[in-house]
Structure 1
Amino acid sequence: MLTDYHNHLERGTLTLDYLKKFTDTAKEKGIEHFGISEHAYHFYQTADILQNSWVNERRYYDMEDYVKLFHQAWEKGIDVKMSIEMDYTPGKHAEMEKFIKQYEFDYVIGSIHWIDDFGIDLAEYRTEWDKRDLYDIYKKYFDQVITLAQSNLFDIIGHLDLVKIFKYVPENEEFLLEQYDRATTALAESKTCVEISTAGLRKPVGELYPDPRLLKMCYEKGIPIVLSSDAHVPEHVGADFDQAVRLAKETGYQTIMTFSKGERKEYPLG
């Protein structure tokens, strides 16, 4: 069994023709469980959750159109899961829960892209990395991983160590492993699965998410996994999954989690 649960239509259109380019690629690559998880900040309905100038310029979708697209696909017999990738926003748990419960998502991804007003994975903010304390950034990032897990709002946490995207990584391994340990402890006590994401291979860091040491802690604490490409174009669907499967199996994983309308089932890893 293979999954690809983290994918975006934002560079194209919310149309069946464009969606089919993604689902057709998934089918060609033998991915049995495929889902679209558009960024929640694009939708007018999330205006009360995340507000900043970067996000506000990119809020241009209506959830009604998004849901309608999936219903069109299902009516045509296209097997695609409906999801959302939500920026985990501290202090907005009630608003996030209200939004999530309004829609029949197959699963929901929670991700951390912001530390206060700092967009950690955005090219526009890259110069900020040299102005800020690296250890403080990592501490605050993993603080959010913990409260994301404790919220128990999300089925999957996206790209668990996205904070390494631009290759800014603390040299103090003891500090780094401490962050990994406390994050995985919180995740193990929640319903949240971890994705092995191949997106990092296409980023400056040039590595899978998560770091093998971090994934090992996930495995040892019984945290389930899914596979994801974080494709923003059809060509990236299922990209480099051979590396993701290899890492999973080398770590000890033999199963993968799947989702349908909130129900989860474990299958042997393909």
Structure 2
Amino acid sequence: MIKTDTHLHTLHSHGKATVEAMFHAARAKGIDIIGFSEHSPRPETHSYPSDYQPRLIEGFPTYVADVKRLRDEFKNEATVLFGLEMDWVEGNETFIADTLKAHDFDYVIGGIHFIDTWGFDYRKEDWQVLSESRQVELYQQFYATMANMARTGLFNIVAHPDIIKIFSVDLFREWAAGDEAKAAFRTALTAIHDAGMAIEISSAGLRKPCKEIYPCPQFIALASEMGIPVSFGSDAHSEASVGYAFDQLEQYARKFGYTDSVYFVKRRMHSRKF
């Protein structure tokens, strides 16, 4: 049984529950390493048509205080981790580094949600007007972006490593089976390996239009071959989705030879059997 969830959000961004409620939802499911990884502030140039950023910025001090309070209050019952899902936005490395210096995060998840200034995971209609060749170009750009993110050394975990498939999963599957994709995956994974990072196996995709675990088989098979560790995340935004479909994630991970997952405390990697 997977008892570690390193990707939880709260009502301080676009989640539905408090830090405390998410903690108790995790404990009710037997999870005893509980990683809060709230979304990060972003540069003003990068936003969604409808965005949670004002609420996040206002509530972030409360998020920090609540996570640290729970960490101390329940230290004999569970391990509460203070993390962040930092949006990777190319060309804004100074903004990112300054954000990360502001707090003593246990770990930082690198989330790629933007290509240039476009939030590509916001609505399917944006993808429906794109040609197949343009969509493939975006897949390639996504993995080149991932490699650049890893090379900075600022992050510990890559979030949802193929979220780019969210609205075009059939075409992505076809592309992922080819040599072009394998080369793109290898470039990204080499940078991840060299940076000492982990990749996330996420159940969030099962709740999204793609209806698939993140990442795809070709990506995780290559990660396993290269000896890259994995973490488990539900990317939960509600109490009900904490630890979502972790039985499926366990079977999936074992299929590719994984028997351990990792988590980070004060930016140092720890391993745990599942």
Same fold (TM over 0.5): yes
Judge conservation of contact 1:2–1:227 (CA < 8 Å) in 2: no
Judge conservation of contact 1:224–1:257 (CA < 8 Å) in 2: yes
| Residue of structure 1 equivalent to 2:231 | 226
Judge conservation of contact 2:48–2:119 (CA < 8 Å) in 1: no
| Residue of structure 2 equivalent to 1:139 | 140
TM-score under structure 2 normalisation?
Answer: 0.87
| Residue of structure 2 equivalent to 1:37 | 37
Residue ranges of structure 2 left out of the alignment (5+ in a row) = none
In the superposition, relative to structure 1, how do residues 167 and 52 fare at CA in structure 2: closer, same or farther (>3 Å)?
closer
| Residue of structure 2 equivalent to 1:164 | 165
| Residue of structure 2 equivalent to 1:248 | 253
Task: Give the alignment partner of residue 207 of structure 1, picking from 209, 212, 215.
Answer: 212
| Residue of structure 2 equivalent to 1:111 | 111
Give the Cα separation in 2 of the matches to 1:261 and 1:254.
23
Shift of 1:128: 3.8
Task: Give the alignment partner of residue 58 of structure 1, picking from 31, 50, 53.
Answer: 53
TM-score under structure 1 normalisation?
Answer: 0.88
Task: Give the alignment partner of residue 74 of structure 1, picking from 60, 71, 74.
Answer: 71
| Residue of structure 2 equivalent to 1:181 | 186
Q: What secondary structure is seen at the aligned counterpart in 1 of 2:179?
A: helix
* 1:26-80, Cα deviation, whole Å (9 max, x unpaired): 1122222111111103xxxx447x5346476632324322222223323432642
1:6 aligns with 2:7: yes
Q: What secondary structure is seen at the aligned counterpart in 1 of 2:236?
A: coil
Judge conservation of contact 1:11–1:233 (CA < 8 Å) in 2: no
Judge conservation of contact 2:204–2:234 (CA < 8 Å) in 1: yes
Residue ranges of structure 1 left out of the alignment (5+ in a row) = none
Q: Which amino acid aligns with 2:61?
A: E
Shift of 1:267: 1.8
| Residue of structure 1 equivalent to 2:200 | 195
In the superposition, relative to structure 1, how do residues 97 and 117 fare at CA in structure 2: closer, same or farther (>3 Å)?
closer
- The CA RMSD measured in Å over matched residues stands at 2.1
Q: Which amino acid aligns with 2:205?
A: G
Task: Give the alignment partner of residue 264 of structure 2, picking from 254, 259, 263.
Answer: 259
* 1:91-149, Cα deviation, whole Å (9 max, x unpaired): 112221121122011100111101113211112x6334423511211111111011011
Q: How many correspondences in the alignment?
A: 260
Judge conservation of contact 1:219–1:252 (CA < 8 Å) in 2: yes
Give the Cα separation in 1 of the matches to 2:105 and 2:213.
26
